[in-house]
Structure 1
Amino acid sequence: MKSSAEVLVLTVGTGNMDKLEETLFQPLEKSLNTGNWNEAVLLPSTMTEENARNFKDRMVGYSIQIKPLPEEGQENDADVCFSHFDRVLTELLEMGYEAKSITPDFTRGTKAMSAALVMAAVRHQIPKLRYIQGARDNRGMVLAGKEEVSEVATGRATMQRQIDDALRLMRSGAFAGVLQILPDVDGSKIAAALVPEEFHREINRLRRLATFWSAWDRLDYEEAVRCSKKLCKQDAEALDQEVTCVKRLAARPDQDKHADMAEWLRRVVADLLANGVRRIAHHQFEDALLRAYRIVELVGQIRLFDRGYDSAQIDPEDLDVREFRKYLQKKGSEDFGIKKENNREVLKASRMLSARFLKRLGDPLGKDLLNFDQNNGVTVKTIARNYSILIHGFSVADLDENSLSELYDRIRALLDKDCPDKTQGIGSDRFGIVP
């Protein structure tokens, strides 16, 4: 590895053909002698390749490579030059040189060559460039012997590009990607030292937004609330509606308060619906399917909470429950599950059993929940239970954007019957927004 080694990469021009010593070789030598280089790479055109070889011959004791443009005339084609220089820099990085240890000097050569070397350096996040300046004659040429070596940092350009990339990732819902490409300048002294201070505030802002949206997107509502408290004042005010929503989602009531649980779960269902729609848009089809299955199950649980029943702990002595169990026994149907809780037996209802119980109680959605799996087209049962490797199957489900969108339309229609004002989801049209 060459992690501590330094390499200088220089374009090679024609210089003044009558004064090559003063206009080309001496400036090249000055650049090479300014610094502690383990290696130098010369980038001539076919026209200036001989100049590069003559310079290499005179610089005895230096390790110098020559990487000329492949064909005549390419020195005026910026795209071709970029491709060639980009390959050279890639090779250096593959050899073990770090980006911070490579210094491109774009002084000589054509304008196309200079521009191409700068673009290739920025592409590889090389932090510094070099050029020769100094007093000029009446032709605008730097006077021989008056050359000065100057350096320019690329950090501002590359960091702004990273911020632009982070904004695109944020708006597409790739919140973990935002945290990966933006350095933690608040938590790492090394990162803070490497990033120009003028970007620290914006980077911190975007990272805090990403952690807020990420926690909410993975349904960790309590963590999202904690993250919302770290948002800057401007973002907290701009996202007041979203922060209020996530606080309501995080405010889970006691499970024995059935009416409160029903109200809270309707908010959760709305959020799951919006979450699933995002998964479809991102082609995370299996994840969208899991959410669809859970939403349908939750509707049954919500309707039971409305009627004073918790599907996870039903009193076996309840009169309606006792009558329903007699009915199940008469039909030869599967009974409730039984579990011990606080030294007493309670009953558990599956999704389908909840639907049957609701129908028995006269709930108008009981029949819809029972028939949900029987409709033509894409259904929760035929896909999730029989095919999905994440549920009960052994292979990936045969899913696509259209079929899942159809499934979600049917779920939305079901939710319309339960509570019409909740079906639009929470923040679904603004999720991932950057104020």
Structure 2
Amino acid sequence: MEAKSVHKILIISVGGSIDPVVSSIQKNRPDRIVFVCSDDLETTPGSYRLVSQILNQAGATDCRYEVIRIKEIDDLNVCYTESLRIIERERREFVKATLIVDYTGGTKSMSAGLAAAAMDVPGVFLCVMKGLRADLKQVQAGTQRLRLSSTDATYVQRQERLLVTLLRRYDYAAAKELIDQLIHTPDLPPEIESRLQRRLILCQAFDSWDKFDHITAKNLLEPYRKDFYKRILFLENIWRSLALLKGEMEATKLPEKMHGFEAVEDLLLNAERRAHQQRFDDAVARLYRAIELAGQLLLKIRYGLDTGRVDIARLPEALQARYAEQQAARGKVQLALVEAYTLLAELDAGCRSVWERWEKALKNLLQLRNYSILAHGFKPISQDDYERIRAESVEFIGEMLRAANVPWTDNWHERQLPVDL
């Protein structure tokens, strides 16, 4: 029989009793059967020996079939893994066929493994033969009746539990992929499909945000503005903060409740998410950038100075000669992180007081970052290293901004991205 003529497949576990297997074949009328059987043991012949008898009694000798033998019939993990391999293979090779999994026969581990595997694959129907029982051992011959149920609802529920785990890790990209697969589950109830569609868009939004694509994130969140008003407002302020740095916006045009350093908050929050995922090198790279960005924004907002090309004419006359020498030697004056804070200390007494206390400690801190494989070295950042760098980075940024009269508070923690969608 050619693959294209296979419309219905029955995967069925076989135990010592053949009656429920025969009944299942007769009632399901498959084009192809995969028998999941026990292999020969030392003292017991395997159930695979019963397949010919089953086919004869079911009147299905012309049906296409395959016999799979399982040696470890009481090992649930083996039974599950082998069953999942079979189901996924059949689903892959016969995409349009109806796939029925009957777990009536076989050992307890074979039945449980087969049923569990079926619930991990969408578009599968579970089948069990029910009937009258004279005892607790087996159903009476001749009383069997077929019971079919779709595994899709169970599959979706199980996958949504996995989704919760991914969201708790802020893994929006993986969550997005999982939902995209779930949405293609056949015959989803409208309320489940609607919930998944919403979650898919929100995961796309927060994945974009997580990758600093703030404009895409805002556009995706707009239809849910009522639910995410504060987050959208934060996104808008992050954009304004970066626009200030790029010279696309004047500080005098900031909204009343905006301090201009929201992009720094965003980096600190992003660092926390990377640390939550045990990606400490990534987290420290973001902390470094947050420190650097805080200095750049201070110079830009307070003095109109761009660290990428310092306009010497904006400097106090006492500093112009020194920086003019740099400009003559390099063609332009560019300030790295330490140089930016050194200039801030020269321009502002409050910043100078903070810098004098922090300069040595901050340089030592940055040295740890420089040893990272994501900077200039080969040593991965440990969790202890990260915790130390984070604590000191947050403390330094807070002290420096408050010294410059920025209304900076620690409530930026409250703006962490959500894990409950």
The one of 393, 396, 419 equivalent to 1:414 is: 396
Structure 2 distance, partners of 1:111, 1:398, is 47
Counterpart of 1:294, as a letter, is: R
Instruction: Say whether residues 1:199 and 2:195 are aligned partners.
Output: no
**Residue pair 1:267, 1:422 contacting (<8 A) in 2 also:** no
Alignment of 1:20-419 (within 5 A): 23=19, 26-31=22-27, 34-37=29-32, 39-44=33-38, 46=44, 49=47, 50-56=49-55, 60-70=61-71, 80-81=75-76, 83-91=78-86, 93-94=88-89, 97=93, 101=97, 102-109=99-106, 113-125=110-122, 127-133=124-130, 136=132, 147-183=144-180, 191=184, 193-231=186-224, 236=227, 239-252=228-241, 255=247, 257-258=250-251, 264-311=259-306, 312=308, 314-318=310-314, 320=316, 322-328=317-323, 338=331, 348-366=334-352, 368-369=354-355, 372=358, 374-375=360-361, 378-380=364-366, 382-384=367-369, 386-391=370-375, 393=376, 395-419=377-401
Offset of residue 282 of structure 1:
1.7
Q: CA offsets, 1:132-169, max 9 Å, x none?
A: 346x4877987766655442110000011112211221
Describe the SS at the equivalent of 1:200: helix
Structure 1 residues without counterparts, runs of 5 or longer:
340-346
Give the % identical residues.
18
Offset of residue 87 of structure 1:
1.0
**Residue pair 1:387, 1:397 contacting (<8 A) in 2 also:** yes
Q: CA offsets, 1:228-284, max 9 Å, x none?
A: 212285xx0xx4433332232233455362456796542221221122122222222
Describe the SS at the equivalent of 1:211: helix
Structure 2 residues without counterparts, runs of 5 or longer:
none
Structure 1 distance, partners of 2:380, 2:81, is 42
Offset of residue 405 of structure 1:
1.7
**Residue pair 2:36, 2:70 contacting (<8 A) in 1 also:** no
Counterpart of 1:249, as a letter, is: I
**Residue pair 1:261, 1:305 contacting (<8 A) in 2 also:** no
CA RMSD of aligned residues (A): 3.9
Offset of residue 390 of structure 1:
4.2
**Residue pair 2:22, 2:54 contacting (<8 A) in 1 also:** no
Q: TM-score, normalised by structure 1?
A: 0.75
Describe the SS at the equivalent of 1:300: helix
Deviates more, 1:244-253 or 1:174-183: 244-253
Equivalences, count: 398
Structure 2 distance, partners of 1:3, 1:283, is 48
Counterpart of 2:71, as a letter, is: P
**Residue pair 1:103, 1:129 contacting (<8 A) in 2 also:** yes
Structure 2 distance, partners of 1:133, 1:268, is 63
**Residue pair 1:212, 1:228 contacting (<8 A) in 2 also:** yes
Offset of residue 413 of structure 1:
1.6
Offset of residue 97 of structure 1:
3.5
